[in-house]
Structure 1
Amino acid sequence: MSNRNRGKNTGDEVLFGSGKQLDKLKSAVQDMHYLLSRKYAERAASELVGNHYRLKTRQIQAVRGAAASEFQLRNREAKEVQLQDLEDKIIYLDGFNVLILLESLLSGAYIFEGMDGCFRDLSGVHGTYKKVMQTPASIELVAEFFRKSGAAGLFWIFDKPVSNSGRIKQMILDFAVENDLNWSAGLEFNPDKFLAEGAEIAVSSDAWILDHCKSWFNLIGYLIREEKPAVNLVKIF
């Protein structure tokens, strides 16, 4: 097992750990929401807001993740399903999105609650996925949710171009066999498009997927409420 984890980056305490910084970030999210609601492109809006508040790159990333337009918020809310809606359904899970977010959460990294009620981190795959100490516990959290949901099955979707995606897919399948779970796993060249168009119920906090999918479930929100893991939660709106 790797001794890696996805904890805080050096400097994150300075960027997100003080009241002064959080006040600035909250104002930035509100300004970003205002601009997005008036159809400013996300990149242009984040540049304006970032320059105005003199934000660092990771702060801008957090603001972009937390903000959404009024239309996006209404659209996402209308498509969100609850735990009881999952009974006897097949759920499609955005593998790297969910897994890395849970690994970050369990590693003590900062987790950001967005205006849409979703939770996001500042990690990314960057072409290669590497298992960390918190990977088995993250998969077990998904298993706990699955057992309680009454869902008929769960399909993990991973990015085929990402290095080691085949290995984590096999790890998921092995875990499912060992624990008698009706899970499947697949690799897709464009998992976002697959989840948006091919999934009746998607599990992801990816903004594009939430905007384009048929319906979605807020897994991380559910786990934070129900399983109550220790979480370094930052609310910036």
Structure 2
Amino acid sequence: MSSETRHRGAHSNDAELFSRDKLPVLKQAVADLSWLLSRGYARPSGLKLVGDRYSLIERQRVAVGRAACADANLVRRQHHHSPAKQIQGRRVCIDGFNLLVTLETLLGGGVLLLCRDGCVRDMSSVHGSYHAVAETDRAILMAAEYLQALEIRSAHWLLDSPVSNSGRLAQRLRDLAEERRWPWTVETVLSPDAVLKQTKEAIVITSDAIILDHAQAWYNLAAEIIVHSPTPFSWLMDLRS
């Protein structure tokens, strides 16, 4: 992949929107939205109620929406989460864009959200197009280091084939795996979500809420990397109550 000068960093007004003094309001908004979701409110209407109440602008509302979840979803996700000691010798299936974009955001100095369910989610989005950034290879190497420490048997990466440049990223993952002798396979599929929701014989690595509400077993790799990272460049907003 060609060298890139772009980064998956903060937006121009993030320093104001996600400053330390905004944290109490954002945390309360997440708690309120989670309360509404637990009582059957639809996410769009609940988010509008909470956003209007606290006068949140759109980007703050996106953060609150990603961080909140209903009580039932929280309990299910906790129940199906696999601790690190259960990963050893197992096969894992990785939601590729989900993991790498979060790690790219970490390395690029963008906003990260520690959400109610313990997952770390970024504020980026991949809508039909993905472009490698300056930190892409570092993100892959960071993931590889943690996967090796977990002593997994093998890793199967899934990338969205409709997303532009997914083929290039898949080849980069294959090249690095061959060069470093990592036990990885890489596949581009129409819908990784559909595949991962039905995965039963491998542990799923993702922070995608839709997948987590169906996965039989999952591991919170991005959060483990980010929360325990010794590096000082993460902008992590803890939005848990």
Confirm or deny a common fold (TM above 0.5).
Answer: yes
Measured against aligned partners, the alpha-carbon deviations of 1:95-146 in whole angstroms (never above 9, x if no partner) come to: 0010000000111111110011100110011211100010011000111011
Measured against aligned partners, the alpha-carbon deviations of 1:51-95 in whole angstroms (never above 9, x if no partner) come to: 211111110111011111110110000011111111111100000
Residue pairs, 1:125-144, within 5 angstroms: 125-144=126-145
1:235 aligns with 2:232: no
Residue pairs, 1:23-172, within 5 angstroms: 23-172=24-173
1:226 shift after superposition = 4.2
TM-score by length of 2: 0.95
**Aligned equivalent of 2:12, options 10, 13, 22:** 10
1:225 shift after superposition = 4.2
Could you tell me how far apart the structure 1 residues matched to 2:223 and 2:16 are? 26
Could you tell me how far apart the structure 1 residues matched to 2:48 and 2:94 are? 31
Q: Percent identity?
A: 36
- 8 Å CA contact 1:176–1:182 kept in 2: the answer is yes
Unaligned 5+ runs, structure 1: none
Measured against aligned partners, the alpha-carbon deviations of 1:3-28 in whole angstroms (never above 9, x if no partner) come to: 00011001001100141x22211111
- 8 Å CA contact 2:106–2:226 kept in 1: the answer is no
Could you tell me how far apart the structure 2 residues matched to 1:50 and 1:222 are? 30
Could you tell me how far apart the structure 2 residues matched to 1:69 and 1:53 are? 20
Could you tell me how far apart the structure 2 residues matched to 1:228 and 1:217 are? 21
1:181 shift after superposition = 0.3
Measured against aligned partners, the alpha-carbon deviations of 1:170-204 in whole angstroms (never above 9, x if no partner) come to: 00000000000010111111111111102531111
Which residue in the other structure is 2:211 paired with? Answer: 209
Unaligned 5+ runs, structure 2: none
Measured against aligned partners, the alpha-carbon deviations of 1:32-68 in whole angstroms (never above 9, x if no partner) come to: 0110110111111111111211111110111011111
Question: Which range moved further: 23-32 or 163-172?
Answer: 23-32
In the alignment, residue 235 of structure 1 is paired with which amino acid? D
Could you tell me how far apart the structure 2 residues matched to 1:236 and 1:182 are? 36
**Change in 2 beyond 3 A, CA 1:184/1:50:** same
- 8 Å CA contact 1:106–1:229 kept in 2: the answer is no
Which ranges of 4 or more aligned residues in structure 1 deviate by more than 2 Å? 224-230
